[in-house]
Amino acid sequence: MNIPAPFSENQMRFFWGCFDHWFNVAEGGKRGGKNVLITMAYCTILEKHPSRIHLIAGVSTATARLNILDCDGFGLKNYFEGRCREGTYQNRDCLYIQTATGEKVVLVSGGGKAGDEKLIKGNTYGTAYITEANECSETFIKEVFDRTLSSPDRKVFHDLNPKAEGHWYYKTVLDFHEAKQRENPAYGLNYGHFTIADNMSISDDRLRAVLATYDRKSIWYARDILGQRKAAEGLIYDMFDRGRNVFKLGEEPIGLRSVAVRWIGVDYGTRNDTVLLEAYDDGNILWITREYRWTSRRERKQKTDEEYADDFMAFMGESYCATIIDPSAASFIEALRRRGVYVMEADNDVLNGIRRVSTLMSRCLLKICSDCKGTIDELESYHWDDKAALVGIEKPIKEDDHGCDVVRYLCNTAIPHWRYGE
C-alpha cells in the first residue's frame, strides 16, 4: 500500500476532527492535500462503520473515480488493496470492500447534472464523500444530506476549491452549517482550510516551479495557491500585453515551421464567426501564426459545411496536420474527416482552459502574430459575465469570443498539462 507524506499540523487537526464530527468540509487551493486527507479519514471510518451501503460522488462518476478511488495512488483502491473489487449494485457502479466489520458497498455517482439526485434514491448511506462539492448540483447535495440522516454513525465529507463568495454553496450549505455550529459548539461541523504549504510531499524546488506558472495578480493565484474565495470579474486576460505576447511575421524563430509541431484550431459557426488559427508548438512556446475568419452577418452570406471545408483545406495547404475543433461541430467534423483530415475534439473545459491560457500569457509562452487582428482584438476585450458572478456563476460573456475559444482549445488540448505545472 502506498503511504502518503506526513500531514501538516493543520491537516492533522482536521483529520482527527473527522472522527468526532458528522459534517467535514475541506476547502482550499490546489495541491493542498484535501483529497488524500479526507480519503484517509474516510477509509479509516469505513473499516469499522456498522452500515453496509456508502456513497462517493463528484460532478461526474469519472471525477469521483479519479479523486477518490484513485486519488494519485492514495485512494480507496490503494487503502483496501487486495480487499476490494469493482462491480455493480442495483445497476450502479460500485466498489465492494472487505473490512474488519464485514463487506461494504461503496456506490460511485455523478452529481453535477440536473436529475443526478435520482441516481442515489432508494438507499440509506452510512457515509458519503462528495469531491468538488461546489461543482455538483444543489439538489444532489441536499439529497445526499437526506440519504444519510438515518445512518447509525452519520458522516458526510465535502472537499472543494474556492469560488466567489456569492456562490450558492456558501449561501445554502456552508453558511447554514457554520451558523448551526456557532449556536451549538457540539453541532458537528469540522471545517479545514488548506493551501499548497500544507502539502508536505512537495519539495522547495517543486514549489518554486509550481509558483512560477502563476501570475501573482491573477484570480488563479488567489484561488489555487492562496485558497481565497475570489470572484471572476472584469477583464479575463488582463495580463495580455502586445509588447510581450504579439510578434510580427518574420520575428518568429528561424526554422520554426520545420522543427515545431503544427496544429490548426477551429471554432465553427453558422450564424456566428468561423475562425481557424494555425499554431506551432516548439516544446516551450505556442506560436499562433495565421488566422482565417468568416463572419456571416458581415458578409451577408452563410456558408455550408462543404464550403467551410473547402476554405479549411486551402488554409491548411498541402502539408496536413492535426486539427482541434469544437466538439459540438459534428457535421463539420464529419466533412473534414471525409477529406482525410485528422480531427481531435477539443477539451472544452472553459475555466481550466482560461486558466491555462492565462498561464502561458503571463509567462510569455503564448505568442500571436500581429496579422491575427480579430483574435487579438477579442483577447483584449474578453470579459467575465459580472451579472452571472453575482449569483456565483462563472462564465465569460459569450460575445465576440470565437478567436478566444480557438486559443483556449489549442492551449487546453495541444499542450501537455504538465507544462502548466499540473
- Do both 410 and 271 map to the same domain? yes
Question: What's 176's domain CATH number?
Answer: 3.40.50.300
Residue 224 lies in a domain: no
Count of structural domains, the chain: 2
- Do both 98 and 157 map to the same domain? yes
Residue 226 lies in a domain: no
Report the chain's mean pLDDT, rounded to a whole number: 93
- Do both 53 and 115 map to the same domain? yes
Cβ–Cβ < 8 Å for 141, 39: no
Cβ–Cβ < 8 Å for 11, 37: yes
Residue 356 lies in a domain: yes
- Do both 184 and 253 map to the same domain? no
Distance, CA of 418 to CA of 29 (rounded, Å): 18
Q: What pLDDT, in 10s, does the model give residues 246-279? A: 999 999 999 999 999 999 999 998 778 999 999 9
Residue 349, all three cell numbers: 473545459
pLDDT on residue 265 = 98
pTM (global) more than 0.75: yes
CB burial of residue 421 (10 Å; 0-12, 13-18, 19+): middle
Residue 36, all three cell numbers: 488524500
Residue 116, all three cell numbers: 443526478
- Do both 196 and 240 map to the same domain? no
Q: In the β-sheet with 366-369, what is the strand arrangement from edge to edge?
A: 246-247, 366-369, 286-294, 274-281, 261-267, 322-325, 343-345
Cβ–Cβ < 8 Å for 110, 101: no
Residue 37, all three cell numbers: 486527507
- Do both 182 and 255 map to the same domain? no
pLDDT on residue 267 = 96
Residue 210 lies in a domain: no
- Do both 175 and 324 map to the same domain? no
Q: In 324-401, where does DSSP find H-type helix?
A: 330-338, 350-362, 373-381, 386-389
Per-residue pLDDT of the chain (422 residues; tens, 9 = 90+): 788 889 999 999 999 999 999 999 999 998 899 999 999 999 999 999 999 999 999 999 999 999 999 999 999 999 999 999 999 999 999 999 999 999 999 999 999 999 999 999 989 999 999 999 999 999 999 999 999 999 999 999 999 999 888 899 999 999 999 999 999 999 999 999 999 999 988 888 888 888 888 888 888 889 999 999 988 888 999 999 999 999 999 999 999 999 999 999 999 987 789 999 999 999 999 999 999 999 877 777 889 999 999 999 999 999 999 999 998 999 999 999 999 999 999 999 999 999 999 999 999 999 999 999 999 999 999 999 988 877 777 899 988 899 999 999 999 999 998 888 77
- Do both 179 and 269 map to the same domain? no
Where does a domain end: 161, 181, 201? 201
- Do both 122 and 185 map to the same domain? yes
pLDDT on residue 346 = 96
Cβ–Cβ < 8 Å for 257, 280: yes
Q: Which domain holds residue 115?
A: 9-201
Residue 221 lies in a domain: no
Residue 285 lies in a domain: yes
- Do both 173 and 44 map to the same domain? yes
CB burial of residue 112 (10 Å; 0-12, 13-18, 19+): middle
Question: What's 362's domain CATH number?
Answer: 3.30.420.280
- Do both 37 and 104 map to the same domain? yes
Where does a domain end: 158, 184, 201? 201
Distance, CA of 69 to CA of 108 (rounded, Å): 9
pLDDT on residue 418 = 85
Question: Which residues are registered as beta bridge partners of 84?
Answer: 97
Residue 252 lies in a domain: yes
Angle at 155 between CA 188 and CA 104, to 5 degrees: 165
- Do both 296 and 387 map to the same domain? yes
pLDDT on residue 98 = 97
Where does a domain end: 201, 221, 246? 201
| Whole-Å CA distances, 203 to 196, 207, 216, 417 | 11, 6, 20, 20
Distance, CA of 297 to CA of 306 (rounded, Å): 19
Residue 376 lies in a domain: yes
